[in-house]
Structure 1
Amino acid sequence: MKVGCIILSVTIFLAIMAVCVMVKFATDVTVDERKREYESRGGAVYQFTKAMGVISLHENTSLPIAERFPYVAAVTRNSSTLWSFACFASVVLIKWVVTSAHCRRSGATHRVLLFQDFARNYTHTYPVLFWRLHEKFNISNPTPKYDIAVAKLNVESYPFTIKPSVFDEKETYEVDAAVWKTVSTMNKKLYLTNDFDVFEVKIASFNRCFEGYGVELDESLICIDLSDHDDCFIHEFGPIYSMDKIVGILAVKPRDCDLKLAIFTNISYYTNWILKSTHTTYYG
């Protein structure tokens, strides 16, 4: 009886040791895999990118268009442990992005994601050092008026070579809308994809947007007509450009699929404010 108990005890002990060894081995493999992923994919930044939901649809998608608007950026934020897409921006003045003031959420951490290599589906995110919102923008009761902000990026640890978009005070008549396509899930969470497109859009009269949204427009805002396209633009989409010049950032997105009008903040109107806010004394 005692011999049987001893044998059983030894067997159980050996079994426990074997399980411990297997768990240790499996854990070591997992750690090594995570370490390799960290070293090869940019470490914690890569984890940020994954959490922000960049979904690869297919390789080499829209590559010429990616080269056409390489400065389009996505602003993402993290209120707790979940990163989510907030809005789009455009790189200006090397280390800055210009975006909508309503994009910034108080108490949240923000990062700016750039799709640096569409062919290899590679992205990189940059921390926002600080924001500068327009002084007249009402955070507690936001309106399209003065809905503009600039954010400075921390690019010291990972400099990028993306040429920034240009801007000036001249009026623009022909514009393209940059569309970094998104996928919406059942719970209405938006995920970015590696698919990109550009639409030629029309500048409409102030009255059309006033009739559609009840917003009185002036020279600081632009009414954009999207009715020539079948797509339903009910999600946030990218800035509008004229060649490499950024013309506007989204202030009011289309209300539904039938009302294909959007209101953009006129960047040319705020040229001096951008230079002042970024402490840039000269821009050529």
Structure 2
Amino acid sequence: MSRDNQSLLEDSPKSFILLGVSDRPWLELPLFMILLVSYILAMLGNIAIILVSRLDTQLQSPMYIFLSHLSFLDLCYTTTTVPQMLFNMGSSLKTISYGGCTVQYAIFHWLGCTECIVLAAMALDRYVAICEPLRYAIIMHRSLCQQLVAVAWVSGFGNSLVQVVLTVQLPFCGKRVLNNFFCEVPAMIKLSCADTTVNDATLSGLVAFFVLIPLALILLSYGFIARAVIRIQSSKGRHKAFGTCSSHLVVVSLFYLPAIYMYLQPPSRYSQEQGKFISLFYSIVTPTLNPFIYTLRNKDVKGALRRLLEKIWRILR
């Protein structure tokens, strides 16, 4: 720890140091550039998806309602963490205030749990579209979609509230140094000098509930979808059905696999060194890739983006 960081902690007892890659100074500049470019791409890509989903009359189906909320979640994800990471990498003082740290992990957990349920709602939408196509408009009506989205946001907030209430009560003794790029609940629990049995159990229980149950529903939905697709006689029909689901499956994999590894392992095995790079993956890589995954494999979205760019070009010309 540098003298500047040490003296700042002594003067500000409610501050934490986020090490990031300060132990590998040669990595800071290239990582800074990668994060900056990724953040710009994530902002542009997700804002574009939100705009075309809201403004284009041809993208008003339930799938694009969920997609616009997913893009908004990814937009918030990156904005919650990346600006702080960029600031710290460009500064000799890698600090964050206690209040800022609390807000960061509170929002991060809120968004993460909300995204779990939104992804499950998108799987339900694909199930109804492929397995019950004649009843799709009746089942997946706009009111149901709005209710599912509301449940996702409220449930995510409830989980975050519980985590914050338990975590802010933990005492932090000695050096308040987080071997991470931003504040997360597992890293905060690991840093505490008190008995964290309740925190560990609550975190594991709630994360298992919000991760495993939506994931089980997603896998169940795709089990029924796979059975329905196999029964389709024409290869063209099977290819079209698969195409409508492949993008969602890729996004689910990018989101769930790191989250499962990060949060569902025993607390005693949690490694801050591994955890910080995994958290970096799902805080910036996944939100950056999601809009491109949906754009590159979706003709409707590509067409809507082209029409949007043409309108912008006519206005600017």
Q: TM-score, normalised by structure 2?
A: 0.19
Which is higher, the Rg of structure 1 or of structure 2?
1
Higher relative contact order structure (alpha carbons within 8 Å, sequence separation ≥ 6): 2
The structure with the greater share of residues assigned to strand is 1
Between structures 1 and 2, the one with greater helix share: 2
